[in-house]
């Protein structure tokens, strides 16, 4: 039964950032055009889903949930030659993992084959469709061009009876593939070439994974998709921009037939990531060509690959929320995705020590057989979690081979002959002797002395070594395999057409480095598959859920601690080894392939703009890609500089100018906006001082982009201040928990993914104004 849904207020929308589709839905409900929102996610089961699909999944399911509606899961399975049950199962698994819940609304286009056939017959009877016997090449040749009209098929004026007869015989299997197609009769001179009598049914002699050999003709996408939406009562058919030209055909099909409902199509910008390909055809080519180890290879942009790499659904949701929903396509820097992954894992991955390329160290003055159990925290001071483990210290250790140089350069603060460094959580070692393999000359062992720290934590004699190394006890360490995953492609746009180069030529040869013989601390002896950890000074890692075995873990690197691809130009010496908080500030040297690509991007700028980009990188700390965008656009750069003059947060200002303002400009220029960078700086100050949340800030920005005004005044007039009073938020949290006993029971039974549901409900109840960190902390404590 359909119930009346009120027009969503800010509270109803769960505090979600406003976007044009959300506004359309709100207006439709307010005007009474719909009483309930029904969306759908309609994948074709011809491959695994990738991160681009994640944006669509979260948008469709999210809008339905926010407006009290429902989202259908429907497989558009009309091409049996490419479809498989494996893909159906993987898609359902991925959508559930991302939080999509379709309940009993699981559908297949193949469920409607009989009804779709009847709709096609109806078109023929109305004189709006005909059986065409041209070959594919002839059809293409007669279609015309964007400047010239097409020519009518000689079969266009077949009688209704002849068309009905031929179409029935097509279904009966009398003709081979390619002999005939059913075409819509529209307009061969239409400016939109999609409307030049498009095919809507073709003969396809392939066994369907669900219907078997029952059919040998199948509807084409535009016909099946629009009518499936109508059959299911979809209110808002949301798709990506490449289907914008299809909308006219979508509407024509709906309006030409007696359908049970009248859905409307809306398009949004698809997710495009640099250093990535998202064509299913190319992803399939990577799998079948053996360039990756399956659809779930952690280098793949598939949901399955990201999951196996250790990316969480929460990180993907945060990323999709950050990039937002726009009307124009743009390229998103993959570094932003990696940043969201780091932010997420920072709060869930306990810190441990692992040595990936071991170098043996003997502490000559440390008693043989003696073992100290050192208490080491799992979490740094800036993560509000507690817990520690015992790390054994003994006479023989392993350190990273890269942390020692026999003949070091100046300002080398790691280990070298005669040089002292600190051991993480322990004392200090000084290298006294280097032992080499007599045959190869390779360093195989270091002989060192050990000094316990003084009561103040310093080295004896008041020395203050600048280097801090991670390590493991050789006698207690666990052997492990570590897989260092990196970007699959070395080129920023690997599938760009460039002098006939194949996208496979842009594969990154260093995208996977497998290290065996690694050593991890004994606290990981019973680590479970699917666990997240941070190897200090190394990165975030995930225990492989497939290849790990008890006592023999395999760790997949999810993401490094910092973006080693970020800076566009300039190399600096390797930074001194330091505790994690300091080490995270300086990126290691970048791969040569990436440096070359970065230099090429700068080279495309004129000298003055290139200098401007370098200055933004070096003095303002702006990521390379963002620096180039600002250097190329005087208007955006002026906005940035004006914002920073008011509120000194260059990284945040660049991010908002490029990724929130620029993409909404469309045909306007920055100088046409009804506000200046000073007002943007005012908005950023409100975020940084905790007055408003980022979600509310996006709503305020949308308002000043239309009408101008002071962000601070808008916040005060509309009562948008963030609620950070613990007592006030706690009362809302208690109400939500009390009102959802079933969800509470399921959460405590192990369905911890429901935390997102509870956060959403609290944010709805607070009008999107509750401090999200406080909400998370209270829910975590009260639901535990």
Give the least confident one: 159-173, 239-253, 412-426, 757-771: 757-771
Band (pLDDT 50/70/90 cuts) for residue 687 is confident
DSSP codes joined into one string, 118-153:
HHHHHHHHTT-EEEE---HHHHHHTT--SSS-----
HEC profile of 709-766: CCHHHHHHHHCCCCECCHHHHHHHHHHHHHHCHHHHHHHHCCCHHHHHHHHHHHHHHC
pLDDT for residue 570 = 41
Where residue 756 falls (left for φ over 0; alpha for ψ -120 to 50; beta otherwise) is alpha
**38 vs 65: CA distance, rounded Å:** 10
Please determine, for residue 583, whether its predicted confidence score (pLDDT) is greater than 50.
no
Does the pLDDT of residue 15 top 60, yes or no? no
> Quick one: CA dihedral 486, 490, 495, 500, positive or negative?
negative
**Average pLDDT value for residue range 71-77:** 98
Cβ proximity of 246 and 194 under 8 Å:
yes
Residue 78 — pLDDT band, cuts 50, 70, 90?
very high
Greater confidence, 239 or 589?
239
Query: How much is the pLDDT for 763?
Result: 77
Q: What is the mean pLDDT of residues 744-772?
A: 77
* Residues in CB range of 698: below 8 A, 6 or more apart: 17, 18, 324, 660
Sign of CA dihedral 605, 608, 611, 617: negative
pLDDT tier at 587, thresholds 50, 70, 90: very low
- DSSP E strands in 180-261: the ranges are 181-184, 199-203, 217-219, 236-240
Among candidates 594, 563, 590, 587, which has minimal Cα distance to 490?
594
* Most confident residue range from 4-8, 184-188, 564-568: 184-188
3-state class (DSSP) for residue 263 = coil
Q: DSSP character for 420?
A: E
Q: How is residue 396 annotated by DSSP?
A: E
Q: What is the pLDDT of residue 546?
A: 94
- pLDDT at position 768 over 80: no
pLDDT band at 565 (very low <50, low <70, confident <90, very high): low
Query: Is 90 exceeded by the pLDDT of residue 289?
Result: yes
Task: Say if residue 602's pLDDT is above 90.
Answer: no
Residues 614, 603 contacting (CB under 8 angstroms): no
Buried b (16+ CB within 10 A) or exposed e, 612-629: bbbebbeebebbbbbbbb
The predicted model gives 423-444 an average pLDDT of: 94
Token look-up 């703009």 returns 609
Q: What is the pLDDT of residue 458?
A: 80
Could you give the angle at which helices 694-707 and 711-718 cross, rounded to 10 degrees?
110
In this predicted structure, the answer to whether residue 3 has a pLDDT above a threshold of 50 is: no
Q: 496 near 522, Cβ under 8 Å?
A: no
| Mean pLDDT of the 443-458 span | 89
Contacting residues for 531 by C-beta, under 8 A, at least 6 apart: 542, 543
Evaluate if residue 157 carries a pLDDT over 90: yes
What is residue 612's three-state secondary structure?
helix
Q: Report the alpha-carbon distance of residue 411 to residue 726 in Å, rounded.
A: 48
pLDDT band at residue 426 under the 50/70/90 scheme: very high
Question: Quick one: pLDDT at residue 226?
Answer: 97
Q: What is the pLDDT of residue 373?
A: 96
pLDDT band at 304 (very low <50, low <70, confident <90, very high): very high
| pTM of the predicted structure, to 2 decimals | 0.71
Residue whose pair of structure tokens reads 């492609």 in the numeric block: 489
Query: What's the pLDDT at 577?
Result: 34
Q: How confident is the model at residue 659 (pLDDT cuts 50, 70, 90)?
A: confident
pLDDT single digits (tens) 265-277: 999 998 889 999 9
Give the separation between CA 340 and CA 320, rounded to whole angstroms: 10
Query: Would you mind telling me the total number of residues written for the chain in this entry?
Result: 784
pLDDT of residue 196 exceeding 90: yes
Mean pLDDT value of segment 258-284: 93
Residue 733: pLDDT above 90?
Answer: no
Q: Please tell me what DSSP assigns to residue 661.
A: I
pLDDT in tens, 205-253: 999 999 999 999 999 999 999 999 999 999 999 999 889 999 999 999 9
DSSP helix/strand/coil, 586 = coil
- Report the mean per-residue pLDDT for the chain: 87
pLDDT of residue 599: 55
Least confidently predicted of 119-123, 277-281, 735-739: 735-739
Q: Is the pLDDT of residue 578 over 50?
A: no
Structure tokens of 343? 């932010």
Tokens of 489: 């492609």
pLDDT recorded at residue 670: 82
Of 212-226, 443-457, 578-592, minimum mean pLDDT range: 578-592
For residue 153, which of 116, 117, 199, 122 has the smallest C-alpha distance?
199
**The pLDDT of residue 694:** 79
| Distances, alpha carbon 164 to alpha carbons 119, 152, 199, in Å | 12, 20, 16
% of the chain at pLDDT higher than 90: 61
**In the chain, % of residues over pLDDT 70:** 91
Mean pLDDT of 623-640: 84
Model confidence at 600, in pLDDT bands (50, 70, 90)?
Answer: low
Instruction: Say if residue 403's pLDDT is above 60.
Output: yes
The string of DSSP letters for 421-488 reads: EEETTS-EEEEEEEEE-TTT--EEEEEEEEE---TTSPPGGG---S-EE-EEETTTPEEEEEEEE--S
Which two tokens mark 486? Answer: 């990196």
Task: Give the CA distances from residue 62 to residues 26, 341, 438, 475, in Å, rounded to whole numbers and listed in that order.
Answer: 14, 21, 65, 52
Catalytic residues: 44, 270, 280
- Does residue 595 register a pLDDT over 70? no
Q: Does residue 332 carry a pLDDT above 80?
A: yes
Q: Residue 667: is its pLDDT beyond 70?
A: no
Average pLDDT, integer, range 579-601? 43
């Amino acid at each position: 039964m359909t119930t009346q849904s009120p027009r969503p207020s800010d509270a109803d929308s769960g505090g979600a950032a406003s976007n044009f589709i959300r506004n359309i839905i709100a207006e439709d409900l307010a005007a009474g055009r719909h009483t309930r929102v029904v969306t759908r996610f309609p994948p074709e089961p011809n491959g695994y889903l990738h991160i681009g699909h994640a944006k669509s999944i979260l948008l469709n399911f999210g809008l339905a949930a926010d407006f009290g509606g429902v989202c259908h899961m429907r497989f558009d399975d009309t091409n049996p030659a490419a479809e498989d049950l494996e893909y159906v199962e993987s898609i359902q698994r991925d959508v559930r993992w991302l939080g999509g819940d379709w309940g009993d609304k699981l559908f297949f286009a193949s469920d409607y084959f009989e009804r779709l056939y009847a709709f096609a017959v109806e078109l023929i009877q109305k004189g709006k469709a005909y059986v065409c016997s041209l070959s594919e090449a002839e059809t293409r040749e007669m279609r015309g061009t964007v400047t010239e009209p097409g020519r009518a098929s000689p079969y266009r004026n077949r009688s209704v009876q002849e068309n009905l007869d031929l179409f029935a015989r097509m279904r009966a299997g009398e003709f081979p593939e390619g002999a005939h197609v059913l075409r819509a009769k529209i307009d061969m001179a239409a400016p939109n070439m999609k409307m030049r009598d498009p095919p809507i049914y073709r003969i396809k002699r392939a066994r369907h994974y669900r219907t078997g050999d029952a059919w040998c003709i199948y509807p084409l996408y535009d016909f099946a998709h629009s009518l499936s939406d109508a059959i299911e009562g979809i209110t808002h058919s949301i798709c990506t921009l490449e289907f914008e030209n299809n909308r006219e055909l979508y509407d024509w099909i709906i309006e030409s037939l007696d359908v049970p409902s009248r859905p409307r199509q809306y398009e949004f910008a698809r997710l495009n990531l640099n250093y990535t390909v998202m064509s299913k055809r190319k992803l399939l080519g990577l799998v079948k060509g053996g360039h990756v180890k399956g659809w779930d290879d952690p280098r793949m942009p598939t949901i399955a690959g990201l999951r196996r790499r250790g990316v969480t659904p929460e990180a993907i949701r945060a990323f999709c929320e950050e990039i937002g929903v726009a009307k124009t396509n743009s390229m998103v820097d993959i570094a932003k995705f990696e940043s969201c992954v780091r932010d997420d894992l920072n709060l869930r991955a306990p810190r441990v020590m692992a040595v990936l390329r071991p170098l043996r160290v003997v502490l000559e003055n440390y008693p043989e057989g003696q073992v100290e159990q050192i208490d080491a925290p799992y979490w740094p001071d800036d993560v509000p979690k507690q817990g520690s483990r015992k790390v054994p210290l003994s006479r023989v250790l392993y350190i990273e081979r890269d942390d020692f140089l026999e003949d070091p350069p100046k300002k080398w603060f790691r280990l070298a002959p005669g040089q002292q460094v600190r051991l993480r959580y322990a004392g200090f070692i000084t290298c006294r002797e280097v032992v080499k393999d007599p045959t190869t000359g390779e360093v195989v062992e270091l002989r060192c002395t050990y000094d316990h720290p003084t009561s103040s934590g310093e080295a004896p004699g008041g020395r203050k070594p600048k280097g801090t190394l991670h390590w493991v006890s050789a006698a207690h360490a666990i052997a492990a395999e570590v897989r260092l995953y990196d970007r699959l492609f070395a080129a920023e746009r690997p599938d760009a057409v460039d002098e006939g180069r194949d996208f496979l030529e842009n594969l990154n040869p260093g995208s996977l480095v497998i290290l065996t013989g690694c050593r991890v601390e004994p606290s990981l002896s019973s680590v479970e598959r699917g666990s997240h950890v941070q190897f200090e000074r190394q990165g975030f890692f995930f225990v492989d859920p497939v290849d790990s075995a008890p006592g023999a873990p395999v760790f997949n690197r999810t993401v490094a601690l910092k973006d080693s691809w970020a800076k566009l130009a300039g190399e600096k010496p390797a930074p001194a080894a330091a505790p994690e908080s300091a080490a995270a500030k300086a990126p290691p040297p970048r791969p040569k392939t990436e440096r070359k690509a970065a230099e090429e991007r700068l080279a495309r700028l004129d000298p003055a703009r290139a200098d401007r980009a370098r200055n933004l990188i070096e003095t303002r700390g702006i990521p390379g890609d963002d620096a180039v965008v600002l250097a190329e656009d005087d208007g955006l750069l002026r906005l940035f500089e004006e914002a920073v003059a008011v509120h000194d947060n260059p990284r945040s200002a660049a991010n908002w100018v490029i990724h929130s303002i620029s993409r909404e400009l469309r045909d306007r220029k920055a100088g046409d906006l009804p506000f200046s960078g000073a007002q943007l700086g005012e908005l950023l100050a409100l975020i940084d001082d905790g007055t408003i949340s980022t979600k509310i800030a996006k709503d305020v920005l949308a308002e000043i982009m239309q009408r101008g005004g002071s962000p601070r005044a808008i916040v005060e007039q509309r009562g948008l201040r963030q609620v950070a009073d613990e007592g006030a938020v706690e009362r809302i949290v208690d109400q939500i928990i009390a009102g959802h006993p079933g969800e509470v029971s399921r959460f405590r039974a192990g369905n911890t993914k429901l935390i997102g549901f509870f956060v959403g409900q609290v944010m709805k109840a607070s009008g999107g104004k509750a401090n999200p960190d406080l909400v998370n902390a209270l829910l975590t404590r009260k639901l535990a």
